[in-house]
Amino acid sequence: MASDPTPGVTCNICGADMEPATSGGRETAGCAACKSSLRLRALVALLSRENFGVAMTLPEFPTMKGIRGLGMSDSPELAKRLAEKFDYTNTFYHQSPVFDVTKPDSRDVGRYDFIVSSEVMEHVPPPVERAFESLHAMLKPDGLLLMTTPYWVGGTTAEHFPDLHEFTVASLGGRPVLVNRRRDGATEVFEDLVFHGGHGSTLEMRLFTDESLRDALLATGFKAVSFFGESQLEFGIDHVEPFSLPMVARKGQISSAGLGVGSRVSRSISSGGAKHSRARNSHR
């Protein structure tokens, strides 16, 4: 029987074979086995590159319980697998273990090698810079913030409720409205609110731009910010949109493997033989 010349496509989250990427948006569920979206696969591809310097599926990641990570409402499929590989804790806004990025715990300062923040920062009450400062403080000196958030290309962030202070979302005539008392005592009401799916606080507070995100993260103290638009067809990652790409902010100086463990891991991979035969260099 002739072998199929078409390279296989593997879900880099669960390791299952999957159909080649279709030209859907980033939320399109491409993997029939774990329902992973292009957004999540691209985020894990970035995690692999940043941590290990090679493109591996998550099941192929070496187990490194010395690496401490924090998730912010990560999907159960992703969180389960990250917890198998790392000292990783998923957290939630409305359920235990609770993490509120606007009220960080001083015990978390300098604690994490990486933080995953996927589709959270657009929902954090302003000023969002305060949240970036919290995440920066929670990372170790060479830690990584791996992030996705909707953004548009060029221009400045559209902050929907810039003077938010004491606020609540109420129902008026069957439709949600946001009522805010500003610091100067004046009240304001906003209609036509945008909510995203999922659990927790899903009111869209802003629409970022790439430029504003980069500027805000650098102003916070991150040393480098990169957007990851590289398609990896072998993992069903085919970016057809120039916006809302996964991004990484490095707290320390740029290195080929952000956690400073790259050379150690590379050695263990090269001595690991066939188990990691799928590992390949990710030349940029």
Closer to Zn ion by CB, 30 or 262: give it.
30
CB of 35: closest distance to Zn ion in angstroms? 7
CB-CB contact of 210 with 111 (8 Å): no
In the stretch 99-138, what mask flags binding to Zn ion with x, by CB under 5 A?
----------------------------------------
CB-CB contact of 206 with 190 (8 Å): no
Closer to Zn ion by CB, 59 or 260: give it.
59
Q: Retrieve residue 154's tokens.
A: 């060029």
Cα(158)–Cα(276) distance, integer angstroms: 44
DSSP 8-state secondary structure symbol assigned to residue 185: S
Binding window for Zn ion (CB under 5 A); candidates: 4-12, 57-65, 99-107, 138-146: 4-12
By the rule CB under 5 A, 58 interacts with Zn ion: no
> Which residue, among 176, 195, 178, 175, has the nearest Cα to 187 in the 3D structure?
178
Closer to Zn ion by CB, 14 or 42: give it.
14
Cα(250)–Cα(255) distance, integer angstroms: 9
Cis check for the bond before 97: say yes or no (omega within 30 of 0): yes
Near Zn ion in 13-32, by CB under 5 A: 13-14, 16, 31
Q: Retrieve residue 240's tokens.
A: 């057809």
CB of 214: closest distance to Zn ion in angstroms? 31
Spatial CB neighbours of 107, under 8 Å, sequence gap ≥ 6: none
In the stretch 32-51, what mask flags binding to Zn ion with x, by CB under 5 A?
-xx-x---------------
CA atoms 282, 43, 57, 27: torsion sign: negative
Closer to Zn ion by CB, 16 or 137: give it.
16
Closer to Zn ion by CB, 15 or 125: give it.
15
**Interacting residue ranges for Zn ion, rule: CB under 5 A:** 11, 13-14, 16, 31, 33-34, 36
